[in-house]
Chain A
Amino acid sequence: MIDLDMAPYAAFVWPAWGISAVVLTALAARALIAARRWSAELKRLEAAQGTSGQEVRPQAAQRAIGPEE
């Protein structure tokens, strides 16, 4: 049975859970939004230069992300 009556400690229990929920949600949202934003930017740049980026990888990119297999 779920117990949501935290009295007399409600002023401590709910803020602890609330802050945890907000911070974890913000962390997750930030990671997912950044992933989507940079993937879209890479696709835009690759489309603009007319290659997949994998086919023609510039030397600068090799230095930045390591050698190709």
Chain B
Amino acid sequence: MFGLANPDRFARFTRPLVPVLWAAAVVLLLVGTGFAFTAPEDYQQGDTVRIMFVHVPAASVGLMIYGALGVSSFFALVFRHPLADAAARAAALPGAAYTLLALVTGSLWGKPMWGAWWAWGDARLLSVLILFLFYLGYMALRASIDDETRAARAAAVLGLVGLINLPIVKFSVDWWNTLHQPASLVRADGPSMPAVFLTPLLTMMAAYLVLFLAIWLTSIRTEIVRRRVVAIRARRALEA
């Protein structure tokens, strides 16, 4: 496991894995979409239940991605490992995009069900908005500092601080009275939805997760190549 921390070994290990992940993501997305549009209407929510199949995967994987960013930031900060920094950097944009999708699709689901696009007093909505702002802050901080080493350290600190928000997002529906419904998948007594909705939901969650892994590994590999290019250019500039 720790051997993969070596960039060369990581690149060799992930080379055959990346195309498999891309193919699996495409297949899972197609199958999940098929399941989503063959599921029956919900007796209360009607066809809006189909928004759940894109909203919940975006929200849950968006949250997981921040966990990956935070752990990578920890290793980058403590061990100053360049691969950990590359992993944190590569997770930021997909994480922001997934979280933005969760906010937008949640709003599109909320309007017909709650009668409101947004509720400022809702702890789940606010904590997910804060998660999105952490992603934006992480990317903005990296972009605002020219020295890549300093930018990486500053962003890693912010990445670690943002981890505090993850349990708040997860348990906000239990700790406070919210408009947002409580957890219906990860519960002590098991999922509270019928298999006809659970199957497309779990398939789409797997699709979003595998797609993220494909994008993440591809982006980490690209970051390794980019740093080699920057280093070669720097050496040439010194020789010239």
**A residues whose Cβ falls under 8 Å from a Cβ of B:** 1-10, 12-13, 15-17, 19-20, 23-24, 26-28, 30-32, 34-35, 38-39, 41-42, 45-46, 49, 53-54, 58, 60-61, 63-69
Contacts and interface: CB of A to CB of B under 8 A. Distances in A.
Interface residues of B, number: 55
Contacts of B34: 2
B101 A20 contact: yes
A23 B104 CA distance: 11
6 contacts: A5-B47, A12-B51, A45-B229, A49-B236, A61-B232, A65-B82
B235 interface: yes
A16 to B, nearest CB: 4
Interface of B: 5-9, 22, 29, 34, 37-38, 40-41, 46-48, 50-51, 54-55, 58, 81-83, 93-94, 97, 100-101, 104-105, 108-109, 111-112, 208, 211, 214-215, 218-219, 221-222, 224-236
B232 A3 contact: no
A16 B231 contact: no
B148 to A, nearest CB: 8
A60 B54 contact: no
Given A1-B38, A35-B225, 20 more contacts: A3-B38, A6-B47, A12-B109, A13-B47, A13-B50, A13-B108, A17-B50, A23-B101, A24-B208, A27-B94, A31-B215, A46-B232, A49-B232, A53-B228, A58-B232, A60-B231, A61-B231, A63-B231, A64-B228, A66-B6
Given A13-B48, A17-B50, A38 B226 contact: yes
